């Protein structure tokens, strides 16, 4: 019995020793696993941090392009800024303050003394101390005022001086012409249209005899002779042919020879539509068949 009891105690001690060994091994393995997991987690975090996409670039405001455009206008030449303002005043036909002008066409009049002074003294601009407005050469509002003005100039008034009177002035000029109330003729020198009054109260009737006499006048073939005749009658020619020809010779430009008229002869193939009037052909040389 004693030996059996000793064997049991020895077995228990071995079991306790094995249990202690297994516990220590398990503890070491757990700590190692935790360390390994920590290292893996740390490495993964570090790797994800390093491979993280860069922050998006800062986007400029969508208004940047407009601000650059405004800056280029304000830094531009004074003449260009004045033109922008005058074009605005002409288009709107309204009296605008400097603030309103700046808001619409980006020209800061108050901040640019050169622009302000030039506009204030411009012939096309009216300044009342507060607002700027467009000033045309002739202050007209409608077609009736336009007709009254043209009738004040029997020698004619240049259309270029009327173009900016009010927006549809050109349409009214054409309407007055169609109605026979004015004439629109081109100036020979400047090639600009001139408006002349046509008073219907003084109609002029020309006799047929005078018309035939006028049409029967044979003009000289050379332009120099025409100019001399005009000067004899106290009129100033619109051209100077002698001077023009002299200048052409200086520059080596010869006068164009007049093309010779081709002489038409009657042949066998000619169809005589007026054969019943033999006197028309008495002076013609008809070749014999």
Tokens of 29: 């393995």
Residue 75 lies in a domain: yes
Q: Which residues of the chain have pLDDT under 70?
A: 1-12, 14-15, 17-62, 187-191, 200, 202-203, 252-289
Residue 285 lies in a domain: yes
Q: Give the pLDDT score at 214.
A: 85
**DSSP line for 183-237:** EEEE-TTT--EEEEE--TTS-----HHHHHHHHTPPPPSSHHHHHHHHHHTT---
Count of domains observed in the chain = 4
CATH number of the domain at 121, please: 1.10.10
CA angle 219, 187, 181 (to 5 degrees): 105
Residues 76-111: tens digit of each pLDDT: 999 999 999 999 999 999 999 999 999 999 999 999
Residue 22 lies in a domain: yes
Radius of gyration of the chain (CA): 52
Shared domain for 191 and 232, answered yes or no, is: no
Residue 243 lies in a domain: yes
Q: Give the pLDDT score at 55.
A: 53
3-state secondary structure of 127: strand
Domain boundary among 79, 107, 134: 134
Residue 57 lies in a domain: no
Shared domain for 236 and 281, answered yes or no, is: yes
Q: Give the pLDDT score at 98.
A: 95
Q: Give the pLDDT score at 153.
A: 93
For residue 173, what are the domain limits? 143-197
Q: Give the pLDDT score at 32.
A: 47
Shared domain for 159 and 190, answered yes or no, is: yes
Shared domain for 241 and 276, answered yes or no, is: yes
3-state secondary structure of 258: coil
Residue 249 lies in a domain: yes
Note the residue count of the chain.
289
Residue 150 lies in a domain: yes
**DSSP line for 130-160:** S-EEE--SS---SHHHHHHHHHT-TT-EEGG
Residue 204 lies in a domain: no
Shared domain for 121 and 166, answered yes or no, is: no
Shared domain for 225 and 193, answered yes or no, is: no
Residues 18-65: tens digit of each pLDDT: 666 656 655 554 444 444 444 454 455 444 445 545 555 545 556 788
């Amino acid at each position: 019995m004693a030996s059996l009891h000793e064997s049991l105690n020895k077995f228990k001690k071995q079991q306790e020793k094995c249990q202690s060994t297994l516990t220590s091994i398990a503890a070491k393995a757990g700590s190692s696993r935790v360390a390994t997991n920590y290292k893996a987690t740390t490495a993964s975090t570090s790797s994800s941090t390093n491979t993280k996409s860069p922050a998006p670039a800062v986007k400029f405001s969508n208004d940047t392009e407009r601000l650059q455009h405004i800056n280029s206008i304000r830094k531009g030449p004074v003449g260009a800024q004045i033109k922008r303002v005058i074009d605005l005043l002409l288009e709107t036909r309204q009296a605008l303050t400097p603030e309103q002008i700046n808001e619409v066409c980006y020209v800061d009049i108050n901040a640019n003394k050169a622009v302000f002074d030039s506009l204030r003294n411009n012939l096309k601009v009216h300044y009342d101390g507060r607002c700027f407005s467009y000033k045309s050469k002739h202050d007209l509002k409608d077609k009736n005022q336009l007709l009254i003005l043209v009738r004040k100039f029997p020698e004619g008034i240049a259309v270029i001086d009327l173009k900016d009177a009010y927006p549809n002035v050109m349409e009214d000029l054409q309407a007055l012409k169609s109605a026979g109330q004015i004439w629109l003729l081109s100036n020979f020198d400047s090639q600009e249209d001139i408006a002349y009054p046509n008073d219907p109260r003084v109609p002029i009737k020309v006799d047929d005899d005078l018309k035939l006499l006028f049409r029967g006048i044979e003009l000289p073939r050379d332009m120099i002779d025409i100019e001399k005749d005009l000067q004899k009658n106290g009129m100033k020619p619109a051209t100077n042919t002698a001077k023009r020809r002299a200048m052409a010779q200086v520059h080596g430009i010869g006068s164009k020879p007049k093309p010779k008229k081709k002489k038409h002869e009657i042949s066998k193939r000619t169809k005589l539509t007026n054969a019943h009037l033999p006197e028309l052909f008495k002076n013609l040389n008809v070749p014999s068949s």
